[in-house]
Amino acid sequence: MDGARSQQEPIADAPQNEEVLVYGENWCGDCRRATALLSKMSVRFRYIDLQAEPAQKRVVSTMLGRTHFKIPVVVTTDRKILVEPSNADLCAALNMSPPRDDASPPAARCVLQ
Protein backbone atom coordinates (compact mmCIF):
# COMPACT_ATOMS: atom_id res chain seq x y z
CA MET A 1 0.00 0.00 0.00
CA ASP A 2 1.16 3.56 -0.62
CA GLY A 3 2.20 4.85 2.78
CA ALA A 4 2.42 8.56 2.03
CA ARG A 5 -1.23 9.24 2.81
CA SER A 6 -3.24 6.06 3.04
CA GLN A 7 -4.82 6.04 6.43
CA GLN A 8 -7.79 5.39 8.60
CA GLU A 9 -8.15 8.97 9.93
CA PRO A 10 -10.50 11.45 8.27
CA ILE A 11 -8.79 13.98 6.00
CA ALA A 12 -10.02 17.56 5.90
CA ASP A 13 -9.66 17.91 2.12
CA ALA A 14 -11.46 14.64 1.31
CA PRO A 15 -14.95 15.20 -0.10
CA GLN A 16 -17.91 14.69 2.22
CA ASN A 17 -20.27 12.27 0.51
CA GLU A 18 -23.22 9.95 1.17
CA GLU A 19 -21.64 7.04 -0.68
CA VAL A 20 -18.17 5.56 -0.94
CA LEU A 21 -16.15 7.07 -3.78
CA VAL A 22 -13.81 4.86 -5.80
CA TYR A 23 -11.36 6.62 -8.10
CA GLY A 24 -9.78 4.27 -10.62
CA GLU A 25 -9.36 3.22 -14.22
CA ASN A 26 -11.03 0.33 -16.03
CA TRP A 27 -7.75 -1.43 -16.93
CA CYS A 28 -6.78 -1.70 -13.25
CA GLY A 29 -7.32 -5.11 -11.65
CA ASP A 30 -7.24 -3.68 -8.12
CA CYS A 31 -9.99 -1.21 -9.09
CA ARG A 32 -12.15 -4.04 -10.42
CA ARG A 33 -11.46 -6.10 -7.27
CA ALA A 34 -12.41 -3.23 -4.94
CA THR A 35 -15.64 -2.39 -6.78
CA ALA A 36 -16.59 -6.08 -6.98
CA LEU A 37 -16.12 -6.38 -3.21
CA LEU A 38 -18.23 -3.28 -2.56
CA SER A 39 -20.97 -4.61 -4.84
CA LYS A 40 -20.86 -8.03 -3.19
CA MET A 41 -21.24 -6.41 0.23
CA SER A 42 -24.09 -4.14 -0.99
CA VAL A 43 -22.15 -0.95 -0.22
CA ARG A 44 -23.37 2.17 -2.01
CA PHE A 45 -20.50 3.56 -4.03
CA ARG A 46 -19.78 5.76 -7.00
CA TYR A 47 -17.00 4.76 -9.38
CA ILE A 48 -15.10 7.67 -10.91
CA ASP A 49 -13.21 6.58 -14.02
CA LEU A 50 -10.11 8.76 -14.16
CA GLN A 51 -9.66 8.06 -17.88
CA ALA A 52 -13.18 9.23 -18.71
CA GLU A 53 -13.00 12.15 -16.24
CA PRO A 54 -9.36 13.33 -16.31
CA ALA A 55 -10.16 16.47 -14.28
CA GLN A 56 -10.82 14.14 -11.33
CA LYS A 57 -7.08 13.32 -11.24
CA ARG A 58 -6.54 16.83 -9.83
CA VAL A 59 -9.10 16.13 -7.12
CA VAL A 60 -7.24 12.97 -6.12
CA SER A 61 -3.84 14.71 -6.37
CA THR A 62 -5.08 17.42 -4.01
CA MET A 63 -6.42 14.86 -1.53
CA LEU A 64 -3.18 12.88 -1.54
CA GLY A 65 -0.79 15.82 -1.81
CA ARG A 66 1.05 14.44 -4.84
CA THR A 67 0.59 14.01 -8.59
CA HIS A 68 1.64 10.34 -8.93
CA PHE A 69 -0.50 7.88 -7.02
CA LYS A 70 -1.62 4.28 -6.95
CA ILE A 71 -5.21 3.29 -7.66
CA PRO A 72 -7.83 2.63 -6.60
CA VAL A 73 -8.22 5.54 -4.23
CA VAL A 74 -11.24 4.95 -2.01
CA VAL A 75 -12.91 7.68 0.06
CA THR A 76 -15.32 6.43 2.70
CA THR A 77 -18.42 8.30 3.81
CA ASP A 78 -16.56 9.46 6.91
CA ARG A 79 -13.73 10.82 4.68
CA LYS A 80 -11.13 8.13 5.29
CA ILE A 81 -8.82 7.83 2.28
CA LEU A 82 -7.42 4.45 1.29
CA VAL A 83 -4.88 4.03 -1.49
CA GLU A 84 -4.79 0.62 -3.17
CA PRO A 85 -6.48 -1.04 -0.18
CA SER A 86 -6.59 -4.78 0.30
CA ASN A 87 -10.02 -6.34 0.76
CA ALA A 88 -9.30 -6.61 4.50
CA ASP A 89 -8.29 -2.92 4.73
CA LEU A 90 -11.36 -1.85 2.80
CA CYS A 91 -13.67 -3.92 5.01
CA ALA A 92 -11.99 -2.58 8.16
CA ALA A 93 -12.40 1.04 7.01
CA LEU A 94 -16.10 0.36 6.42
CA ASN A 95 -16.49 -1.47 9.76
CA MET A 96 -17.54 -4.64 7.94
CA SER A 97 -16.34 -8.22 8.04
CA PRO A 98 -14.85 -9.60 4.82
CA PRO A 99 -17.03 -12.13 3.00
CA ARG A 100 -16.30 -15.74 3.97
CA ASP A 101 -15.34 -16.67 0.43
CA ASP A 102 -12.88 -13.78 0.04
CA ALA A 103 -9.83 -15.55 -1.33
CA SER A 104 -9.20 -13.07 -4.13
CA PRO A 105 -5.50 -12.62 -4.88
CA PRO A 106 -4.15 -9.08 -5.13
CA ALA A 107 -3.94 -7.74 -8.68
CA ALA A 108 -0.85 -6.17 -10.20
CA ARG A 109 0.07 -2.72 -8.94
CA CYS A 110 -1.74 0.10 -10.75
CA VAL A 111 0.16 3.40 -10.69
CA LEU A 112 -0.88 6.63 -12.39
CA GLN A 113 1.78 9.09 -13.47
* Interval 81-113: pLDDT, tens: 999 999 999 999 999 887 776 555 554 444 444
pLDDT value for 103: 53
What CA–CA distance (Å, rounded) separates 3 from 18?
26
What CA–CA distance (Å, rounded) separates 73 from 75?
7
Indicate the residue type of 64.
L
Half-sphere CA count of 94, side-chain side, radius 13 A: 25
Q: What is the mean pLDDT of residues 53-63?
A: 95
Half-sphere CA count of 52, side-chain side, radius 13 A: 8
Contact (CB, 8 A) for 97 and 88: no
pLDDT value for 111: 46
Cβ burial, residue 31 (10 Å; 0-12/13-18/19+): buried
For the whole model, what pTM was predicted? 0.77
